[in-house]
Chain A
């Protein structure tokens, strides 16, 4: 643990955050296992959100800097043209490729 008013180093960051992020990783694994276990898994795995999620997992593994922003961009609508109407639409967490 860092002393007050001293910048931490990477080893201390690992020490401070490892256990809680291990838990988050297990939550993701459990989510994917749950999806596989339930009826209709094959269909769910064709959903655009699932595809984006698995691409995000690949980005996590990439080892490249700026992974958080890269995953945000992966989930984002990259277009620039306004929608004709927002009636009945809500955010789903991932871009559907313009299907809606």
Chain B
């Protein structure tokens, strides 16, 4: 089968992972900018990282026939330092102009603080001015419900943002309905210890349907699996769902959402 992983952090993965993904059927990925596991000390660290996302990683992926696209943004874990945030936001347009940069992400909230909210507001404004797609990171665990509510209110208060051009990611059982009811796309993340499993993801497909859902691995430097979207597709298959529905969830849906950016083309 063909699958798109719309959220994976390939800068943290080995070249062998690219090979495994390519031979298994993942020929297109998008990589949002995220936290490196430590706070970067200056804007220069972000400049190098954005260069990595827009130049180095697409070339590494191409060796295996995989199309690599990225999202540019300041992640919420590093949004607390408002001065640094301002410096990073100033260099973002230069990288958003790259031919493989398809939008602003992953931006959102982490602990739901005032500075995180302020930084998100500025990035949403940038997205409006540039008409960019948006990928939203919602907080982890106990902070997710509150953060998702705040994020939805913030976006809906900006009438120039079309919810159908926003994917709110890391949704879980208690946040899916509010995201979908407000017209957004929602992402489910297959992350073994702190987010979701293939079984729970397919439960969500069965409960909420196959529309406006994208399933991703978010594979990075922590416990995660770059083949998890295919394992999740197999979970859907073993429950007896038809191939057409499986193809919709794991290929057509991400293709539809991401394809709203004219730069995006599947491999």
Which among B2-10, B21-29, B43-51, B105-113 touches the partner chain? B105-113
Selected from A7, A8, A79, A85, the residue in CB contact (under 8 A) with B113 is A85
A86 to chain B, nearest CB (A): 4
What is the chain A residue whose CB lies nearest that of B118? Answer: A82
Q: Is A99 an interface residue (CB 8 A)?
A: no
What is the chain A residue whose CB lies nearest that of B239? Answer: A8
- A residues 69-98 with Cβ under 8 Å of B? 69, 72-73, 75-80, 82-87, 89-95
- Whether the pair A77, B146 counts as a contact (CB closer than 8 A) is yes
Most A-side CB within 10 Å, residue of B117, B143, B199, B242: B143
Most A-side CB within 10 Å, residue of B203, B238, B240, B242: B240
- Whether the pair B143, A82 counts as a contact (CB closer than 8 A) is no
Q: Chain B contacts of A72 at CB under 8 A?
A: 144-145, 172-174
Selected from B114, B140, B143, B145, the residue in CB contact (under 8 A) with A73 is B145
Q: Chain B contacts of A69 at CB under 8 A?
A: 173-174
Q: Chain B contacts of A77 at CB under 8 A?
A: 112, 142-143, 145-146
Q: Is A19 an interface residue (CB 8 A)?
A: no
- Whether the pair B142, A85 counts as a contact (CB closer than 8 A) is no
What is the chain A residue whose CB lies nearest that of B203? Answer: A68
Q: Chain B contacts of A82 at CB under 8 A?
A: 112-114, 116-117, 150
- A residues 1-37 with Cβ under 8 Å of B? 2-8, 16-17
Considering the chains assembled together, what is the distance between the CA atoms of A14 and B193 in angstroms? 24
Q: Chain B contacts of A85 at CB under 8 A?
A: 80, 113-115
Q: Chain B contacts of A8 at CB under 8 A?
A: 239-240
Q: Chain B contacts of A4 at CB under 8 A?
A: 240
Q: A6 and B149 in contact (CB under 8 A), knowing A77-B142, A83-B114, A93-B141? A: no
Most B-side CB within 10 Å, residue of A69, A82, A92: A82
A16 to chain B, nearest CB (A): 7
- Whether the pair A91, B141 counts as a contact (CB closer than 8 A) is yes
Q: Is B226 an interface residue (CB 8 A)?
A: no
Selected from B141, B172, B239, the residue in CB contact (under 8 A) with A2 is B239
- Whether the pair B115, A92 counts as a contact (CB closer than 8 A) is no
Q: Chain A contacts of B116 at CB under 8 A?
A: 82, 86
- Whether the pair B174, A73 counts as a contact (CB closer than 8 A) is yes
Considering the chains assembled together, what is the distance between the CA atoms of A44 and B242 in angstroms? 48
What is the chain A residue whose CB lies nearest that of B245? Answer: A5
Q: Is B248 an interface residue (CB 8 A)?
A: no
Selected from B142, B150, B194, B199, the residue in CB contact (under 8 A) with A76 is B142
B222 to chain A, nearest CB (A): 13
Q: Is B180 an interface residue (CB 8 A)?
A: no
Considering the chains assembled together, what is the distance between the CA atoms of A16 and B241 in angstroms? 15
A-B CB proximity, top 5 nearest: A86-B111, A72-B174, A86-B113, A76-B145, A2-B240
Q: Given A72-B173, A84-B114, A94-B141, 19 more contacts at CB 8 Å?
A: A2-B240, A7-B239, A73-B145, A73-B174, A75-B142, A76-B143, A76-B145, A80-B146, A82-B112, A83-B111, A85-B80, A85-B115, A86-B116, A90-B111, A91-B194, A92-B141, A93-B194, A94-B142, A95-B142
Task: Name B residues whose Cβ lies closer than 8 Å to a Cβ of A.
Answer: 80, 110-117, 139-146, 149-150, 172-174, 194, 199-200, 203, 238-243
